Amino acid sequence: MKPRHAVQGINRFAARLSGAVTEWVGGTIAFAAALLLIVLWLVLGPVFHFSDTWQLVINTTTTIVTFLMVFLIQRAQNKDARAASLKLNELIASIEGASNRLVDVEDLSEEELATLHQHFRRLVEMSKRDSSLMRSHSVEEAAARHEVKRAGHGSRRGGRRSRGRSRGTTPAAKTPNATAKAPNATAKAQTTTARSQHS
């Protein structure tokens, strides 16, 4: 039990160390310190007459820092990538209609990933043909949902055209009323003229 606890303690310490170092190295203070170190090295060049020792100091320092940082940054990236993958797996597993084959997709072979890529390329091609339609939920239901949405979109267009045609026939129905009122106005004008002449 003791060796196991010791290993767990070392792993926790290494995780905290890699996270802290990665966070600090990505900040402004670390960049300013590295820049100051380079400037100081250049200023001390004439003092050491640009000797081999002067060059060896900066070469050794940068090599050691780079060597250690590779492992620390890689550890932090592995942890972040694993956490992000778990979050995506939780979303895929909880959403109804999502393709469960995408859970732990990073563990598939290159041939399987290429096959899934071709399926998603089909979705892209369908969305290019009908850019206004909503996206399908998964690879399995892509074709069926696409056809249903296309049919619904066509029926809505047909309804709009029929309503437009019915609206266009409305002014024609009002035309007989206008022509019917015209003789009445003419008759009233003739009556008024006759009364004025009689008087």
The DSSP result for 99-163, as a single string, is -GGGTTGGGS-HHHHHHHHHHHHHHHHHHHHSTTSPPPSSSTTHHHHHHHHHHHHHHHHHHHHHH
- The better pLDDT of the pair 133, 129 is held by 129
pLDDT at 173: 41
**pLDDT over 60 at 131, yes or no:** no
- The better pLDDT of the pair 73, 162 is held by 73
Local confidence band at 140 (pLDDT 50, 70, 90 cut-offs):
low
> What is the value of pTM for the model shown?
0.49
Q: What is the pLDDT of residues 17-50, one digit of tens each?
A: 888 888 888 889 999 999 999 999 999 999 988 9
